[in-house]
Amino acid sequence: MGILYNRPELVAERARWREAGLTVVFTNGCYDILHPGHIRTLESCRNLGDVLILALNSDASTTRIKGPTRPILPEQQRAALASALEAVDAVTLFDEDTPRELIAELLPDILVKGSDWSHFVAGREAVEASGGRVVLLPLEPGYSTTATVEEVLSQQ
């Protein structure tokens, strides 16, 4: 189960993990409504290394990206749910539209995104320049937060 870190705490913890020789994996997203596709993706991420960091878009960031009706769950609830997952070691929030700056500070060994982001992986350049690698995971078929929200709203 993960710990919720603020950015300075996470940067300090990352330095300790590096000194210990641990492979750090980083992924991010809104994780607005947690679904089985998220869980399976996070488990796949965790299997790539020793430590998994999940960076969540803040409420303001999620609204800018997804629109005025999102997020469904506020950031502290999303962070609590993510922290409770066995696959996740660390959770943090970021307010920017992309985690590029956070990734550049942490320099994870492995940066993971879903294959739907193959056209743009924020932080790719910094990770690869530091000797890390980027992994694109296939999406779990049948799971989409946006589709779930639309389905629920259409039933009202």
Identity of the highest mean pLDDT range in 35-39, 112-116, 131-135:
131-135
Tally of structural domains, the chain: 1
Alpha carbons 63 and 65: distance in angstroms, whole number = 5
The residue range of the domain holding 59 is: 3-154
CATH number, domain containing residue 119: 3.40.50.620
Alpha carbons 67 and 86: distance in angstroms, whole number = 30
pLDDT value of position 57: 97
pLDDT value of position 154: 72
φ and ψ of 138, to 5 deg: -65, 150
Q: Which tens digits make up the pLDDT trace of 86-122?
A: 999 999 999 999 999 999 999 999 999 988 867 889 9
Residue 42's Cα: distance from chain center in Å?
Answer: 9
Between 35 and 45, where is the model more confident? 45
107-145 as b/e: b if 16+ CB within 10 A: bbbbbbbbeebeeebbbbebbeeeebebbebeebeeebb
Mean pLDDT of 18-38: 94
pLDDT above 70: residue 145: no
What predicted TM-score, i.e. pTM, was given to this entire model? 0.92
